[in-house]
Amino acid sequence: MHRSYCTLFDKNYLYQGVALHDSLVAHSRDFTLYALAMDDEAFSLLGKLGRESLVPVRVDDLLTDEVRAVRARTSHGQFCWANQPLLCLHLLDRFGLDMVTYLESDSLFFADPEALFEELGSNSVSLVPHNYSSGLDQKDKSGVFCVQFNAFRNDARARAVLGEWKVENFKYDKSRPLYYPGQICLDSWPEKFEGVKIITHKGAGVAPWNVRGYEVSERNGTPHVDGVPVVFYHYHQYCRLRSGDHDLSGYPLSKTVIDTLYRPYVTALARAEQAVKKVDPSFNFRRLYDDPMSLGGLLQAPSKENFASYRFRIKRRVLGRFNIYPDHFFS
């Protein structure tokens, strides 16, 4: 069966989006990934890639006076989140899809997602729990469920959920940067709407906030958790630093997790970058973050900001969360 997926990203997360598509090519039988390009550079590059199963969508195609008002009062990141239900509705309407599944662009598939659709069955909407590890529960801030593998059939039940999600996502406002209405509203869907299926497959939505609670292993080249294949991993917080180093996340990660799940991701991103550079050598966009201050750097340039950065570095080391590695570590 042909599967329709969608995601969104801007030029700074384009490598992640291409890597996501590559992983679907490797593990999904027959699919199309619709990518909402949040800027002109991303839309242009996706066109140059010319991949039949990776279809770019202009963000301007979703704009109405109401959506423009949302963009005016939100940060760039919040506006991206606001577009999640809009993209799903747009695709269901424009292409008459029987179902579309929203994915986060910072995810990578390691196994066939058909197991998740089998679990969805005849239901109309899927939800994947955060499944927080002990000591990492963030339900009060981020909710029980995560926006990461949300299937919506083209029926009345799913459209009711999408309508609710749109209303909540339009509550984002840059004056409240730590308020996530479009995330926490998912908690009410199972009780409020019919046809909502909570996915129980352990390999769905493995992420830094829950991986510590699993026994991680590798079998025949595929990562497993508690003996179950990882369907997809959500690389929340992964980023590149200005030095070129990789910051895997601020969560505690074991060596086994880094070797089994993060090494493949760094490789996948490098391959995605090579594919992009092949069609456009001038493309050079990536969101970069400042390196946490070292003691030597602090002594050379003491300041309140640099001291805070150094304290952040020490805190992560003490907590066993300093997951920063140079590029050659992954070679």
pLDDT at 208: 98
Task: Reduce the secondary structure of 165-223 to three states and give it as a string.
Answer: HHHHHCCCCCCCCCCCHHHHHHHHHHHHCCCEEECCCCCCCECCCCHHHCCEEEECCEE
Which of 77-91, 149-163, 307-321 is predicted least confidently?
307-321
User: Could you give the angle at which helices 263-279 and 40-49 cross, rounded to 10 degrees?
Assistant: 80
Residue 196 in contact with residue 125, Cβ under 8 Å? yes
Which of 143-157, 183-197, 309-323 is predicted least confidently?
309-323
Question: What is the token pair recorded at 217?
Answer: 């292993």
pLDDT at 153: 98
pLDDT digits (tens, 9 = 90+) for 298-320: 899 999 999 899 899 999 998 89
Helix (H, G, I), strand (E, B) or coil at 263: helix
Question: What is the token pair recorded at 215?
Answer: 């026994």
**Residue 327 and residue 289: Cα distance in Å, rounded?**
15
pLDDT at 112: 97
List the chain domain ranges: 3-289, 295-330
Q: What angle (nearest 5°) sits at the alpha carbon of residue 143, between those of residues 140 and 37? A: 130
pTM score: 0.96
Rounded percentage of the chain residues whose pLDDT exceeds 70: 100
β-strands 196-198, 216-219 pairing:
unpaired
Mean pLDDT of 1-28: 97
Q: Enumerate the β-bridge partners of residue 34.
A: 6, 55
Residue 216 in contact with residue 223, Cβ under 8 Å? yes
Q: How many helices (H) and strands (E) does the chain have?
A: 13, 17
Mean pLDDT of 186-213: 98
Confidence label for 241 from pLDDT (cuts 50, 70 and 90): very high
Confidence label for 277 from pLDDT (cuts 50, 70 and 90): very high
Based on the number of CB atoms within 10 Å of its own CB, is 256 exposed (0-12), middle (13-18) or buried (19 or more)? middle
| Residue 330: closest CA among 229, 246, 237 | 246
Confidence label for 128 from pLDDT (cuts 50, 70 and 90): very high
Helix (H, G, I), strand (E, B) or coil at 32: strand
| Residue 45: closest CA among 21, 72, 80, 78 | 21
Confidence label for 280 from pLDDT (cuts 50, 70 and 90): very high
Residue 106 has pLDDT above 90, yes or no: yes
Mean pLDDT of 77-85: 98
Mean pLDDT of 29-53: 97
- Please state which CATH number belongs to domain 3-289: 3.90.550.10
Beta-carbon count within 10 A of 48 CB: 12
Q: Which residue do the tokens 């150094």 mark?
A: 310
Residue 331 has pLDDT above 90, yes or no: no
**Residue 323 and residue 85: Cα distance in Å, rounded?**
33
Question: What is the token pair recorded at 233?
Answer: 């991993």
pLDDT at 131: 98
Helix (H, G, I), strand (E, B) or coil at 75: coil
Beta-carbon count within 10 A of 146 CB: 24
**Torsion sign (Cα): 106, 110, 111, 116:** negative
**Residue 137 and residue 139: Cα distance in Å, rounded?**
6
